[in-house]
A and B are shown apart, each in its own frame.
Chain A
């Protein structure tokens, strides 16, 4: 079936299967920042923004996204680039596989949390797993980024 999706500020007519998840649709379109990490919607690697809410694209039907604004790191280049400066400044991106999902989570967190502190940040990002970093460096980077904002 054909649907129209608003992805990264432009409209796309895409052919999908009715049961297709947004993760597959985006990857098939060449948006490779969105990655798969598990089979059970547990890791947050595939996180994208839909109407400024964080969703797991592996468990979000593409058809549900019609009429909504879908953002990946490719669509928030300036903001993502700034977040990237702080993450890489701590050396905490490591293998980088979870980074685009984390960046999107930080992006929506900033919209959703009024005065984020370390506890509310940890709660918000709890679903974004990382096996390389031990998280402490991520938290250092995020606190510095939020101070600048």
Chain B
């Protein structure tokens, strides 16, 4: 019926045809326009703030500063509760901690009056010296959270007086001793930048009061239930008085896994009784939402001459910017979603500090931690191979994880907590590698070849793993309701970001209920009408919410059979989707449904399912890049990128493919194009699409994605996650390809042509 079919997204055509679907399309027509006055300084104390002129401006309904909003401290991060992120943010604060931090917000009847009024707010700042360079942040004289106002919900090494948001360390075995016994030890330092999500829809939120006076919030979020909880706690309202609706959203990638504009609009609505909306400008989205965590990663890897890797040490410095959303969890993923790839080591250690700086806060971004860790680890593996004089693919195959194996790291490291021991029940990594090698003609062409005296080509490889949800934390749930024509309403908390999860859930329900897809009517992500789901993050939706939908469907079959027994007067019934058969006669599902509504043994059939996993089945992949470089100019062309993925069963092969293709290009963007620079005073320079270059279609020569056959026993219909893993390999694979082409190792992202030229000419 539904699973393993490339059916179109159920909402796809409506979206392409431009139907009103996103927050701003659906916000009440008469919404007040809300805007935020942003700090021009990277670090300052507000000494005085005069809003009187702004308030007098025609059309202005209200102006808020730190003096008249709730003075509560919280984390904006949309994640499990209690959150593994420090509480360090207020709606508005007397201190501003980065250029773009919120100073005040106001609402008026139209954009013109708001723009006019915002210019009339007079603020006197005591400007302080900011700390911009994250390598100098720890124990700097500048303390980003100077007051004693921050706290963590549990021990995470939170030490604001030292600018440390969170820290973590673990060791399995004795790395120092193991390294001593190695023939070759490679040490390397790698840098990754603070990538921006660049969702095409900027952050948008609207709110209004319903007929019962309850607060309704429509917002482009990945986590409607977390938004409801965080709003309730900090607005001082009961959860029961808030309804959060996620309509269609224009991209997320982790960027909407956080509270952004929701506090501003809801506070305006609560104070005026009027609908209100906020639409972030593109500049605001770059400057004042959040980014990927910038990192420095030190790798030490030791191996024997025969290529046996014995010890790995990974030390991380992560920049969380002005606030610590996801600080601890992103840090831990740097190790937990990379180091188990090489599970045969005698000893492995991981440690890291996450520091505060006066820059745009960092938060969740697709593949968080994993892509940074992958760049460091998979670059280091190639460098180690070179020192061992072993082909890097051969070195990987000798040391990498296989089916039926485990890694102690699974048990030790989770996300913000201890991990969960598990044995790998599906892993086709070797096959993934072989497909990439074959397509790239790796052994035939060789890792490098000269095209002309000035032009060389190189091939580089990287492997990756991810997770499928967070065990014992991420929960999804689903409700099914039988209609009088035999169709079903499927109500799910799962949050479709455009990825197609509504469709995936419909496919799973259709497969389980043995009914055609068009009998499943999906409604998702509305805290009043759909059951709880943590939301779309941590590669959890197909794996976790998919199971909850399967369970709800199985429970619905039980309900249908019980109802059919009564209708047919039989104790033995069989259900095949269309017809319920028994020794006393048959009844079609639609006949049964109609009788249940209107005539005999009347009853509304409803079923539910919820699911929490005890494991996080990792998907695996191999990625290979072929680059062409002009040695005279350093110009790099990515000739092609080949990827082979093991994500278990692809519930929808087309949608899985687009997930990987899209993620690959975001990874390629991070590897080659997307640069983040601050001025010394902390101004973000790359704050528009003119200055922050995401790949256009001109940068895409050839992206070739394939899936290997695989079945994960723990997954719904054999599926694992596929949303994040695609982003992980490009930085390392491209760096490895450049090194193979030129013999030049670049360890800092993004790798731009000028960096290659500089390295060739000035080293």
Nearest A residue (CB) for B250:
A97
**Bound Cα distance from A109 to B283, whole angstroms:** 30
State the main secondary structure of chain B at its contact with A: loop
Cβ B652 vs Cβ A84 within 8 A: no
Taking residues whose C-beta sits less than 8 angstroms from the other chain, chain A's interface range is 35 or more
Q: A122 in the interface, Cβ–Cβ < 8 Å?
A: yes
**Bound Cα distance from A90 to B658, whole angstroms:** 8
Q: Which residues from A are CB-within-8-Å of B15?
A: 93, 95-97, 99
Cβ A84 vs Cβ B25 within 8 A: no
Q: Which residues from B are CB-within-8-Å of A83?
A: 16
**Bound Cα distance from A36 to B69, whole angstroms:** 30
Q: B138 in the interface, Cβ–Cβ < 8 Å?
A: no
**Bound Cα distance from A126 to B702, whole angstroms:** 16
Q: B18 in the interface, Cβ–Cβ < 8 Å?
A: yes
Cβ A88 vs Cβ B9 within 8 A: yes
Cβ B697 vs Cβ A84 within 8 A: no
- Taking a contact as CB atoms closer than 8 A, the residue among B12, B250, B665 that contacts A135 in the complex is B665
**Bound Cα distance from A134 to B695, whole angstroms:** 9
Nearest A residue (CB) for B14:
A96
- Taking a contact as CB atoms closer than 8 A, the residue among A32, A87, A133 that contacts B661 in the complex is A133
Chain A nearest CB: distance from B518 CB in Å? 15
Q: Which residues from A are CB-within-8-Å of B19?
A: 32-33
- Taking a contact as CB atoms closer than 8 A, the residue among A32, A45, A127, A134 that contacts B662 in the complex is A134
Complex interface bits, A73-95 against B, C-beta within 8 A gives 1, otherwise 0: 11001001101110111111111
A73 and B18 in contact (CB under 8 A), knowing A90-B658, A91-B500, A132-B662? yes
Cβ B689 vs Cβ A40 within 8 A: yes
Cβ A74 vs Cβ B703 within 8 A: no
Cβ B17 vs Cβ A84 within 8 A: yes
Nearest B residue (CB) for A132:
B662
**Bound Cα distance from A139 to B696, whole angstroms:** 13
Chain B nearest CB: distance from A19 CB in Å? 10
Complex interface bits, A32-70 against B, C-beta within 8 A gives 1, otherwise 0: 111111111011010000000000000000000000000
A96 and B21 in contact (CB under 8 A), knowing A43-B689, A135-B665, A137-B661? yes
Cβ B8 vs Cβ A137 within 8 A: no
Nearest B residue (CB) for A130:
B200
Q: B251 in the interface, Cβ–Cβ < 8 Å?
A: yes
Q: Which residues from B are CB-within-8-Å of A147?
A: none
Q: B253 in the interface, Cβ–Cβ < 8 Å?
A: yes
**Bound Cα distance from A5 to B614, whole angstroms:** 60
Q: Which residues from B are CB-within-8-Å of A80?
A: 16-18
**Bound Cα distance from A42 to B18, whole angstroms:** 20
Cβ B12 vs Cβ A96 within 8 A: yes
Q: Which residues from A are CB-within-8-Å of B16?
A: 73, 80, 83-84, 87-88, 93, 96, 99-100, 103
Q: Which residues from A are CB-within-8-Å of B11?
A: 96
Q: Which residues from B are CB-within-8-Å of A34?
A: 18
Q: A129 in the interface, Cβ–Cβ < 8 Å?
A: yes
Chain B nearest CB: distance from A28 CB in Å? 10
Q: Which residues from B are CB-within-8-Å of A117?
A: none
Q: A98 in the interface, Cβ–Cβ < 8 Å?
A: yes
Chain B nearest CB: distance from A25 CB in Å? 14
Nearest B residue (CB) for A38:
B282
Cβ B198 vs Cβ A131 within 8 A: yes
Q: How many A-B residue pairs have CB under 8 A?
A: 178
Chain A nearest CB: distance from B583 CB in Å? 45
**Bound Cα distance from A81 to B690, whole angstroms:** 32
Q: B370 in the interface, Cβ–Cβ < 8 Å?
A: no
Q: Which residues from B are CB-within-8-Å of A128?
A: 697
Q: B720 in the interface, Cβ–Cβ < 8 Å?
A: no
Chain B nearest CB: distance from A113 CB in Å? 15
**Bound Cα distance from A94 to B696, whole angstroms:** 17
Cβ A39 vs Cβ B282 within 8 A: yes
**Bound Cα distance from A137 to B697, whole angstroms:** 11
Of B15, B279, B654, B655, most A-chain CB atoms within 10 Å: B15
Q: A72 in the interface, Cβ–Cβ < 8 Å?
A: yes
- Taking a contact as CB atoms closer than 8 A, the residue among B13, B283, B657 that contacts A88 in the complex is B13
A35 and B661 in contact (CB under 8 A), knowing A87-B16, A96-B248, A131-B251? no
Q: B694 in the interface, Cβ–Cβ < 8 Å?
A: yes
A35 and B251 in contact (CB under 8 A), knowing A93-B9, A136-B700, A137-B658? no
**Bound Cα distance from A139 to B283, whole angstroms:** 30
Q: Which residues from A are CB-within-8-Å of B17?
A: 33, 73, 77, 80-81, 84, 100
**Bound Cα distance from A135 to B17, whole angstroms:** 19
Cβ A137 vs Cβ B13 within 8 A: no
Q: Which residues from B are CB-within-8-Å of A133?
A: 658, 661-662, 665
Of A31, A39, A84, A126, most B-chain CB atoms within 10 Å: A39
Q: Which residues from A are CB-within-8-Å of B661?
A: 133-134, 136-137
Q: B119 in the interface, Cβ–Cβ < 8 Å?
A: no
**Bound Cα distance from A97 to B14, whole angstroms:** 11
- Taking a contact as CB atoms closer than 8 A, the residue among A42, A72, A123, A137 that contacts B690 in the complex is A42
Chain B nearest CB: distance from A35 CB in Å? 7
Of B21, B657, B662, B663, most A-chain CB atoms within 10 Å: B662
Nearest B residue (CB) for A97:
B250
The residues of A with any CB-CB pair to B shorter than 8 Å are 31-40, 42-43, 45, 72-74, 77, 80-81, 83-85, 87-100, 103, 122-123, 125-139
Could you list 23 A-B pairs, sorted by A, with CB under 8 Å? Answer: A35-B22, A37-B200, A43-B689, A77-B17, A85-B13, A89-B654, A90-B658, A91-B652, A91-B655, A93-B16, A94-B499, A96-B250, A97-B498, A98-B250, A99-B15, A100-B16, A122-B700, A129-B689, A129-B694, A133-B665, A134-B661, A134-B663, A134-B666
Beyond the given A96-B16, A137-B657, please list 16 additional residue pairs across the A-B interface where CB-CB is below 8 A: A35-B201, A36-B279, A39-B283, A72-B18, A77-B17, A80-B18, A84-B12, A90-B658, A91-B652, A94-B251, A94-B498, A94-B662, A97-B200, A132-B498, A134-B663, A136-B661
